[in-house]
Chains A and B, each alone.
Chain A
Amino acid sequence: MLKITATRASALGTAREPIDKRQRMVDGALKKNQYRQDALIEVLHTVQSIYGYLTDEHLWYVAQQLKLPPSQVYGVATFYNFFTLKPPGEHTVVVCHGTACFIKDSRAITAALEQRFGIKPGETTSDGQLSLSIARCLGSCSLAPTAIVDGVVHGRTTPDTFVALVEAAISQNESKELTSKADGMP
């Protein structure tokens, strides 16, 4: 039952990078952690960083390699907010809903994004361009309200400027350079 089938193994590599390289990276992480069962979270972090999300096949594979019940691997993958079982969009936006951001009305930013892109937190646009999610606290409370576009933290955002930032990120794939300029130094 734990044995991974050929089709499952092949499903490990579906997109951009060739199967071998990504598979090798996963195997490397397993080896580095000496196949220890307590390294489950570390291994899942690695798998998600390589593939962007966790599929059933990934979970099966990790379970088999670490000799853990699949139920435990699935349990851990669904317990922690960091792990996602759904493919993320091309661009990811995270709006902080921590207390400081909440007091400075980050809900308005989320609402503006929902309205503009027609998705709710946790969803991805139908064209796969944008995923929206909510963070419990990004730890940059002094710059509230904060939000992340493709890994870059933006502080003191407003609904209008932030929607514009996201639009810019989508229209130009060089989002990192652009957004840091558009963000504007004080």
Chain B
Amino acid sequence: MNSDELQSSAAEELRLCASVPRRVQVCDDTGCRATGSQLVRQSLEDAAKARGANVRIEGTSCCGFCARGPIIISRPDDTIFAEVTVEQAPLIIGGEAPVATEATVSGSRPVTILPADLPFFARQTRIIMANAGEIDPQRIESYVAAGGYRALERALHEMTPQQVVDAIAQSGLRGRGGAGFPTGVKWGLVARTDSDQKFVVCNGDEGDPGAFMNRAVMEGDPHLVLEGMAIAGYAVGASQGYVYVRGEYPIAVERLRKAIHQAERQGFLGSRVFDTSFQFRIDIRIGAGAFVCGEETALIASIQGGRGAPHPRPPYPAQSGLWGKPTLINNVETLAAVSAIIDHGPEWYARLGTEKSKGTKVFALAGKITNTGLVEVPFGITLREVIYEIGGGIPDGHAFKAVQTGGPSGGCIPEQFLDMPIDYDSLARVGSIIGSGGMIVMDETSCMVDVARFYMDFCMSESCGKCIPCRAGTVQAYRILDRISRGNANLDDLARLESLCEYMQKASLCGLGQTAPNSVVSTLRYFRDEYLSHIVEHVCPAGVCDLSQTRPFMRSEGVS
């Protein structure tokens, strides 16, 4: 296939879409499925059939507003219906819906229509999620019509591999998996390493509890990931790629499998891609539930069929990765940004964001926030804008207490930093990280000691057990935190906890152990008084912890 054929194929699909007077798109993401979108879709299809309406009903990707699911979008009028029930579905088909705008909806019956200028949508800048709620993830034609595979075609026909690497470097793209390493530098390292075989690995082992943007991309726009991988393969000289998908994401696996098959049939993957000498195959590897496999050396061990235990670096995977060959490992979101950068040019991408953090980032808003879901914003936007303007603030009249970013490796950011811009360096300064982009908002009903204990429990059970600082350190830290939350700790324990955290940060083998103490360190930094009130006064200020079993001698010690 060449550039003209690609264009005509896109035009054909657009013509096909225009030939139907109306298209109704039903969100087919895990989130909307859990609120019953499959049943609603069935009801829509039944209604269309019964009325003989000339409507095409199709699935679409997650538009991000999971809080208001199931979401249904009507084209070409672009009406977004929210919280659609099975009973309401025929009204949408009939066009006789007793519609109400957001403001007048009370109770349930009128179909809720989301205004197009809703801040949740209007304040976002979508690159990774550009196709969200637009295309049918299961049809390659739909992706091609949205401009898909154009970047791969351009890279292969108009650019040398070195030019692709340079473009990524110029764009300022940094790794979206957590560490924020410059992507162009990584690509350059792999490209420069001489080898008969190289690999590209897409890290879709989204283990951070509270983050789900990679799932949404893999489920909702699988070809975007494949295209990014193919461009990466061309740039670094690899002929084989692997997508490592979390075992908890069966729909993502199914969609990716289908997408690979479709792309191979179209000649976008396989041998002689776009009639060039470039060949690139992609296989799927399914994870089996281990957080540590997000670490790149552990990921390699897992793809090779072993236990996901990391090994010391160097050598870095860029030099010696899968089967000892140079391997490029990038997060789903990093690879998903590639085709837009090649398509629109690195300067266009670099204009977004801040000086050191370019482009956009998808954040998963969850916890005590009104508009839960996925939002894509340029770096440099403030936390307040994301949480209050896009996220709609804290529900039920509660007060903001902290926002946890970066998952188990991140930290809690208190209210005084709400006006801080979101970028890699600002978050690092206040003791947290961007991480994979999870943002869990907490109100005054969350106890920070309890939160720290939760994360330490997570790290304790996910530690692979290879190095002692992590294996034993997480257990001991958890025990101390558990004692604090029960009122059975003293100030010596707190000092012990702090020095233990330092040991773990300095001596652990991989990122899991090195960052496991972060939740403790950051909560101690901003919420030390909560720890002290558990220890000294035997009171949980948030009323979460059960201190009824506090040992009597602890009480007397606290008083004295």
Contact = CB atoms under 8 A, between A and B. Distances in A.
A6 interface: no
A11 interface: no
Interface stretch (A20-28, A96-104, A165-173): A96-104
A137 B407 CA distance: 11
A40 interface: yes
30 contacts: A41-B302, A42-B286, A45-B247, A45-B286, A72-B306, A81-B289, A99-B367, A99-B407, A99-B440, A100-B210, A100-B372, A100-B440, A103-B366, A103-B368, A103-B446, A104-B367, A135-B248, A136-B207, A136-B289, A137-B209, A141-B364, A141-B440, A142-B212, A142-B366, A142-B372, A143-B31, A143-B66, A153-B30, A180-B38, A185-B85
Contacts of A146: 34
Most buried by B among A75, A142, A183: A142
Given A80-B290, A136-B458, A139-B30, A38 B304 contact: yes
Nearest to A37: B305
B249 A76 contact: no
Interface string A30-71: 000000111111101100000000000000000000000000
B438 interface: yes
Contacts of B372: 100, 141-144
Interface string B290-328: 110000000000111111100000000000000000000
Nearest to A157: B34
A186 B208 CA distance: 28
Interface residues of A, number: 44
A92 interface: no
Contacts of A102: 209, 454
Interface string A66-109: 00000010011001111100000000000001111011100000
A140 B407 contact: no
B367 A185 contact: no
A39 B291 CA distance: 20
Most buried by B among A41, A44, A102, A141: A141
Contact of A144 (B208, B366, B407, B458): B366
A33 to B, nearest CB: 10
A138 interface: yes
B396 to A, nearest CB: 12
Contact of A155 (B34, B302, B303): B34
Contacts of A139: 30, 206, 212, 215, 246, 248-249
A152 B83 CA distance: 19
A139 B286 CA distance: 16
B366 A153 contact: no
Interface of A: 36-42, 44-45, 72, 75-76, 79-83, 97-100, 102-104, 135-144, 146, 152-156, 180, 183, 185-186
Nearest to B307: A79
B85 A141 contact: no
Contact of A186 (B85, B249, B365, B462): B85
Contact of A138 (B39, B248, B367, B455): B248
B67 interface: yes
Contacts of B35: 143, 155-156, 185-186
The 8 A-B pairs of least Cβ separation, nearest first, read A98-B209, A81-B289, A80-B288, A142-B66, A100-B366, A142-B372, A137-B209, A99-B210
A38 B305 contact: yes
Contacts of B210: 98-100, 137, 141
- Sort chain B's interface into a size bin: 35 or more
Contacts of A39: 305
A44 B285 CA distance: 13
Given A80-B289, A80-B308, A153 B207 contact: no
B33 interface: yes
B86 interface: yes
Nearest to A81: B289
A82 to B, nearest CB: 4
Contact of A45 (B288, B438, B451): B288
Most buried by B among A36, A39, A79, A135: A79
B473 interface: no
B373 A142 contact: yes
B454 A154 contact: no
Interface string B81-92: 001111000000
A76 B404 CA distance: 33
Contacts of B366: 99-100, 103, 141-142, 144
Contacts of A37: 305
A79 B27 CA distance: 35
Given A139-B206, A142-B66, A155-B34, A103 B442 contact: yes
Contacts of B373: 142
B36 interface: yes
A61 B291 CA distance: 28
Contacts of A185: 35-36, 39-40, 70, 83-86
A180 B209 contact: no
Contacts of B455: 99
Nearest to B373: A142
A48 B372 CA distance: 35
Nearest to A96: B209
Interface in B3-52: 30-31, 33-36, 38-40
Contacts of B306: 40, 72, 76
Contacts of A155: 31, 34-35
Interface in B353-382: 364-368, 372-374
Contacts of B308: 79-80
Nearest to B250: A151
A135 to B, nearest CB: 7
B288 A136 contact: no
A45 B248 CA distance: 12
Contacts of B291: 136
Contacts of A100: 209-210, 366-367, 372, 440
Contact of B438 (A44, A76, A99): A99
Contacts of B34: 140, 143, 146, 152-155
Nearest to A100: B366
A76 B367 CA distance: 34
A140 B288 contact: no
B460 to A, nearest CB: 12
Nearest to A40: B305
A79 B248 contact: no
